[in-house]
Amino acid sequence: MDVELFNFDLPESCIALRPAVPRDSAKLLQVTGEKFTDHTVLGLPELLRAGDVLVLNETKVLRACLTGVRPARAHGGGSDVTIGINLHKKLSPNEWRAFVRPAKRLKDGDIVKMSAALSAEVFDKQNGGDIGLRFSLSGQELEHEIEACGVMPLPPYIARKRDVDDSDNDDYQTVFAAEKGSVAAPTAGLHFTPELFEKLGAQGVEIARLTLHVGAGTFLPVSHDDTDDHKMHSEWFSIDEDTAAQINTAKSEGRRIIAVGTTALRALESSASVGQVIAQNKDTDIFITPGSDFAIVDGLLTNFHLPKSTLFMLVSALAGLETMQAAYQYAIDNNYRFYSYGDTSLLWKRI
């Protein structure tokens, strides 16, 4: 498909730089066919029914935005170079892939120092500032040092407008985060609060949990003119036997499955086989565009996404491209806040 079909004009004033306070006071746009209705996140239980299953992504965000120094080369002249590093995929206990700036100042074999205790060797440099980093620490020691010297990896459209601060340590983490490994938040889940969970329980809504470690590739623009030419970055997910059984039972009983966020949806649809969720741990590079089938999900809670992004393509596949174009224009006209710290939407699968 022509990528330009997924473009739209978004005023800068629509981009949220801070979350709603409290979290569940954010606005929620329900999209049911061609009908749009306005709500708040705390009112979500009233839009659901007993037996519905909300599927959460329990991943936890690392402070994966690092600053390093590449020392001056002994025989190359010049001086030390400061390097901005955004980790995006874990390869092994001591290796990550990262997006770096300025990438042109690095080559394979260079050493980048992040702290007195942490350095890394550059390997497998690729186009677009994508490099491999082989760290001097491994496992939990590496994780602890990353947490000590890194900051929260806010998306570029926020980081360009303000510095990361202490409030982001809480704001950019879901209240149910459990397993560290993401370098971006599953942002639909940022709206949940204990009060909201209490209301969902009283409504008889079930909660299921999985893990997908979100990569920074989620923010990369589609650089081709046709979706057929785009290659997704892969992300690791895990669905255990209990979660698979819970969802499969609900499906067999005709109950609805609602993914909380595009990451939960991608994990569920990547695990589908003959209309059932298969418990597994693996990487997925699933790319969902209009025309894709949905074997598991009936609905999706998701924030408002970037123009020409793979995430806007995904929601257009679920609810229909023309419907989502109209819904986003409605959201802009009615002062909804966009992107990671913005408001959210509840989308029902087009029948």
Domains defined for the chain, CATH in brackets: 3-61+168-348 (3.40.1780.10), 65-149 (2.40.10.240)
Distance (Å) of CA 226 to CA 1, 5, 336: 5, 10, 29
pLDDT score for 332: 98
pLDDT score for 75: 66
Say how far apart CA 241 and CA 208 lie, in whole Å.
11
Q: Is 43 exposed, middle or buried (0-12, 13-18, 19+ CB in 10 A)?
A: middle
pLDDT score for 176: 98
pLDDT tens digit string along 114-151?
999 999 999 999 988 999 999 999 999 999 999 999 99
Say how far apart CA 183 and CA 89 lie, in whole Å.
8
* Residue partners of 225: CB distance under 8 A and separation at least 6: 2, 3, 4
In the predicted model, residues of the chain with pLDDT beneath 70 are: 74-77, 217-220
Residue type, 207: I
